[in-house]
Amino acid sequence: MSTHYLDHAATTPMRESARTAYVAELARVGNPSALHASGRAARAVVEDAREQLAIALGAHPTELIWTSGGTEANNMALKGLFWARHAQDPRRQRIVISAIEHPAGMEPAQWLEREHGATAVVIPVDAQGLVDLDALRAEVIAHHEHIAVISVMWANSEMGAVQPVHEVVEIADAYGIPVHSDAVQAVGHLPVHFGQSGLASMSVSAHKCGGPVGVGALVVRRDLKLTPLTHGGGQERKIRSGTLNAAGALAAAVAIGEAVAALEPEQQRLGALQRQLIDRIREEVLAAMLSGPAPGEQRLTNNVHFVFPGGAAEAMMFVLDSHGVEASTGSACTAGVSQPSHVLLAMGRSEADASSTMRFSLGHTSTQEDIDALVAVLPDAVARARQVGQLCAPENDFEA
């Protein structure tokens, strides 16, 4: 049975160029912090990769801090900015986030609230999943002297809504408030230029663009002070101590550079597949409801997210999987936890609808055959999932 992979938003296959570079560098030895020849050679690989990635992201090489991925980068930014600005001015205890942030952006704010006296302020979104700029503006005007950092993801990982990052920055800039953005889903799918964005910091992850898992970056403005999470070595501007991953850095730069270079034609290719898939799902499953904005500038071209009313999401996923079609109920980082999508709830959907979703995400290996395979089995998967949903409905609960 052939496998049709439609979960690229969770992770995407490594690009051949990145895999080749990665394997070749793994065969070499050398700690980039060592002063002997092997160490200097490893350091050269890291710095060359830093320059390549900085060019792809529209940043200066000194602004790029290597991390293990987007989760670490988000934690470094939110905690580091909060601690640094709160220490400078104890009044700055507010962390402002959107209601649809990835758990890697939402949970650090909640943890700081529980453990370090912060106040996590959640800005609502509209029915399309776009952050409410009027609510954000009102929060900033009323509490600007108390805000440590604002964080709004560039593009949502579940339903693909592209957020108005530039408008968010404009609101914050009037009061000198730094803005962080989780750009993990945006890089390689949208034009991302850190220098032109006005952001204070930005998170990136290699494996979303065809690089290896476990490598990412936090792009941090050079004039910005962050309190580090880790200590011991002073690497990466003393923001992130630890032995640098030369092979991972090289492969990340190669993969992201290739994705960015092919951005425009790939947007067109994936956008055509996206629009076709949306139309065909609507034809085959009449009650299906698209989540997020319509295809266009406000939506990632690789994201298709539907609510299938009455269908148990996990049942749908398992039926599709049994036919060789791999998709997701939403964010992979919450897999295994049976709960409605916080993103859909924030958009005003009911708990029932937020528990009946599927995300089909496209990537650089996606083909017409993948779309055809999904559409061929989806009606049956939805029908079976609705049977499971009826059995699990509260009115069908009974005591033994």
CATH of the domain at 302: 3.90.1150.10
Any bridge partners for residue 201, and if so which? 180, 220
Based on the domain organization, do 237 and 165 belong to the same domain?
yes
pTM over 0.75: yes
Number of domains in the chain: 2
Could you read off the pLDDT of 126-185 as tens digits, one per residue?
Answer: 999 999 999 999 999 999 999 999 999 999 999 999 999 999 999 999 999 999 999 999
Are residues 88 and 54 part of one domain? yes
What pLDDT does 87 receive?
97
pLDDT tens digits, one per residue of 187-237: 999 999 999 999 999 999 999 999 999 999 999 999 999 999 999 999 999
The full DSSP string for 34-68 is --SHHHHHHHHHHHHHHHHHHHHHT--GGGEEEES
User: Could you tell me which of 367, 368, 339, 349 has the C-alpha nearest to residue 305?
Assistant: 349
Closest CA to 363 of 334, 327, 329: 327
Which is catalytic among the residues 34, 263, 333, 345? 333
Question: Which residue intervals of 181-232 are DSSP H helices?
Answer: 194-197
Domain check: are 219 and 358 in the same one?
no
Identify the domain boundary among 260, 293, 328.
260
Whether residues 254 and 309 fall in one domain: no
Q: What is the pLDDT of residues 317-337, one digit of tens each?
A: 999 999 999 999 975 555 555
Catalytic-residue membership of 333: yes
Domain match, 256 and 292 both: no
What is the domain range of residue 270?
A: 4-12+263-396
